[in-house]
């Protein structure tokens, strides 16, 4: 049996480890009807883009709120047309959707929540070796377009990876928060945009 001081020291070290891994996030929707959705604030090329969700049937939502459908996260082109190219749909419960950000560094996109609020995101360079980084989106003639947790418009997605758009001006409309720890949560890998 470990002495109590050693156990407390290990717990403190583990807490520091998880706190150091906390990622800046943006809250796309938190309400009193049992829905909390956070997205990674700084997407990186070919790295996991996380969507934390906590969706329950707490409270009494008004007629137009349908859970979990109203927790969906829409990804839009950055130009004035704001064309949807992907949607991620978290299920009921608590967990994380993990999508490999299959976009080149420098690409911009907007995220729209069901209340009509938007925010622009810019893909940063991969922290991994660039030799493997570009393989997640380059030569994507055939990509995965459907999943139980989302869908992707392949034509608009290919345009987004191949062209540069003139971004429209969108002020930050999401609250900045800390991404909760993924410790003990189900992580669902969503392979939309993966080369097949």
List per-residue pLDDT tens for the chain, 196 residues long.
556 564 444 444 444 444 444 458 888 876 656 678 999 999 999 899 999 998 876 655 555 566 667 788 999 999 999 999 999 999 988 999 999 998 989 999 999 987 788 999 999 998 865 444 446 766 556 778 888 999 999 889 888 888 778 888 888 888 888 888 888 999 999 988 877 6
For position 77, what pLDDT does the model report?
94
The CA-to-CA distance between both ends of the chain, in Å, stands at 51
CA distance 130 to 127: 8
Phi first, then psi, for residue 10 (nearest 5°) are -65, -40
Q: What is the pLDDT of residue 144?
A: 82
SS3 11: helix
The pTM of the full predicted model, rounded to 2 decimals, is 0.79
* Residues 119, 28: Cα–Cα separation, whole Å: 9
What pLDDT was estimated at residue 160?
Answer: 86
Question: By three-state DSSP, how is residue 51 classified?
Answer: strand
pLDDT at 16: 46
Q: What is the pLDDT of residue 13?
A: 42
Q: In 10 A of CB 178, how many CB atoms?
A: 12
| Residue 33 burial class via C-beta count within 10 angstroms: exposed 0-12, middle 13-18, buried 19 and up | middle
How much is the pLDDT for 19?
45
pLDDT (0 to 100) of residue 161: 83
């Amino acid at each position: 049996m470990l002495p109590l001081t050693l156990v407390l020291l290990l717990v403190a070290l583990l807490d520091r480890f998880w706190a150091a891994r906390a990622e800046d996030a943006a809250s796309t929707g938190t309400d009193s009807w049992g829905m909390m959705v956070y997205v990674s604030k700084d997407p990186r090329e070919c790295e996991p883009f996380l969507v934390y969700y906590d969706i329950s049937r707490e409270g009494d939502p008004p007629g137009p709120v349908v859970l979990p459908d109203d927790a969906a996260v829409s990804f839009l082109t950055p130009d004035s047309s704001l064309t949807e190219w992907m949607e991620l749909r978290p299920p009921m419960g608590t967990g994380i959707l993990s999508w490999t950000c299959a976009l080149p560094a420098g690409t911009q996109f907007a995220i729209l929540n069901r209340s009509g609020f938007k925010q622009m995101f810019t893909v940063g360079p991969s922290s991994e070796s660039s030799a493997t980084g570009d393989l997640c989106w380059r030569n994507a003639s055939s990509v995965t377009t459907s999943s139980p947790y989302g869908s992707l418009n392949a034509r608009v997605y290919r345009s987004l990876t191949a062209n540069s758009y003139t971004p429209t001006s969108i002020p930050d409309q999401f609250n900045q928060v800390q991404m909760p720890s993924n410790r003990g949560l189900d992580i669902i890998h969503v392979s939309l945009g993966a080369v097949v």
